[in-house]
């Protein structure tokens, strides 16, 4: 049985990714940080569908917590086939109002969290003959977004990190890829007004916003595509191209 761990997997894109891997027959571990109520509700929802994911709590921006999470993971499972680094936070603020604390907090989760998780699994994946790491970036990491400098920069860092690590691990049969969602129907975009959303849709060649399931399907593809590594797969209906 193949295994997958999805960080930030209790809602939105992460939840859809977890469900897709469960549907494909994977044993799935869902990481969450602080919202235990939502985590348990998600687990119960999946139980009702006949799936039995495991919940593991950890703040991915905390090195010690990440180490403990994977110690717990490898205490249950012999190997990890797929790691999906989905956990992320956003920040909408002009540069003048962005503090050093804001910057560090965004990078702590979005970039450092990816680093900690990847580093924690690399040796085990190599020893087990390979694996797949999928990092979730953003279209704003590719093209940048006004008033989201910290978020855009952190997601751009994820893309550069992915490309570099893919080259480093390819000889060991560990593939590292990146999914770059466009405008997706999630809580993170619920702050947009109806007018702002309509304006964005007008810029999307596909004529609609994306859904978490669209991103999940891309992750499944990358998890199974044995000759694909170092790639950034945009899931945005042509937005930003």
Which of the residues are catalytic? 151
Q: Residue 232: which of 222, 223, 217, 241 has the closest Cα? A: 222
233's tokens: 């797969």
Alpha-carbon span 219 to 205, nearest angstrom: 22
Q: What is the DSSP string of 45-89?
A: HHHHTT--PEEEE--TT-HHHHHHHHHHHHHH-S---EEEE----
Alpha-carbon span 116 to 60, nearest angstrom: 7
**CA–CA distance from 113 to each of 31, 105, 157 (Å)?**
12, 11, 12
Q: Residue 223: which of 13, 7, 24 has the closest Cα? A: 24
Alpha-carbon span 122 to 19, nearest angstrom: 24
Alpha-carbon span 214 to 9, nearest angstrom: 15
Size (the chain), residues: 241
DSSP 211: -
- Dihedral sign computed on CA atoms, order 145, 150, 151, 157: positive
């Amino acid at each position: 049985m193949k295994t997958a761990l999805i960080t930030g997997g209790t809602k939105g894109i992460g939840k859809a990714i977890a469900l897709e891997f469960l549907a494909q027959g994977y044993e799935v571990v869902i990481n969450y940080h602080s919202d235990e109520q939502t985590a348990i509700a998600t687990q119960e929802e999946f139980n009702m569908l006949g799936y039995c994911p495991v919940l593991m709590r950890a703040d991915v921006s905390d090195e010690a917590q990440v180490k403990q999470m994977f110690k717990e993971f490898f205490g249950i499972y012999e190997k990890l086939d797929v790691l999906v680094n989905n956990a992320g936070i956003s920040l909408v603020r002009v540069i003048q109002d962005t503090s050093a604390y804001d910057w560090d907090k965004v990078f702590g989760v979005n970039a450092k969290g990816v680093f900690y998780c990847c580093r924690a699994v690399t040796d085990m994946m190599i020893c087990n003959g390979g694996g797949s790491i999928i990092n979730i970036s953003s279209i704003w990491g590719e093209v940048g977004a006004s008033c989201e400098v910290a978020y855009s920069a952190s997601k751009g860092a994820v893309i550069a990190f992915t490309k570099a690590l893919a080259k480093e691990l390819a000889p060991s049969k560990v593939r590292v890829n990146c999914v770059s969602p466009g405008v997706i129907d999630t809580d993170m975009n619920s702050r947009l007004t109806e007018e702002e959303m309509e304006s964005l849709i007008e810029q999307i060649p596909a004529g609609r916003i994306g859904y978490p399931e669209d991103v999940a399907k891309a992750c499944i593809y990358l998890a199974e595509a044995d000759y694909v590594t170092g790639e950034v797969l945009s899931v945005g209906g042509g937005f930003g191209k």
